[in-house]
Amino acid sequence: MNRDIQERAMQKAFAKVVTIKMDIRALADDVKCGRTGGVSIEEIKNVLDGTKTELEVWKYIFDLIEKDEQ
């Protein structure tokens, strides 16, 4: 595969991981402080759980890209 494409894919996956980590921190803080923005705390917790799963998926994608590079 083209080295430039691999590098771009890796950068995009890394950026997504960083963004999701920021989302998780914000959601966890919302749960801790009780900020719900018009939805229930249970719904916020569900979103937090789904976001944690999404993080694991993007970490896996990043690892696959990194291994393909070698």
For 59, the domain range is 3-69
DSSP string, 8-23: HHHHHHHHHHHHHHHH
| Per-residue model confidence as pLDDT tens digits over 28-60 | 999 999 998 899 999 999 999 999 999 999 999
In the chain, the number of structural domains is 1
User: How many Cα atoms occupy the beta-carbon half-sphere of 29 within 13 Å?
Assistant: 6
| Per-residue model confidence as pLDDT tens digits over 5-36 | 999 999 999 999 999 999 999 999 999 999 98
Predicted TM-score of the model (pTM)? 0.88
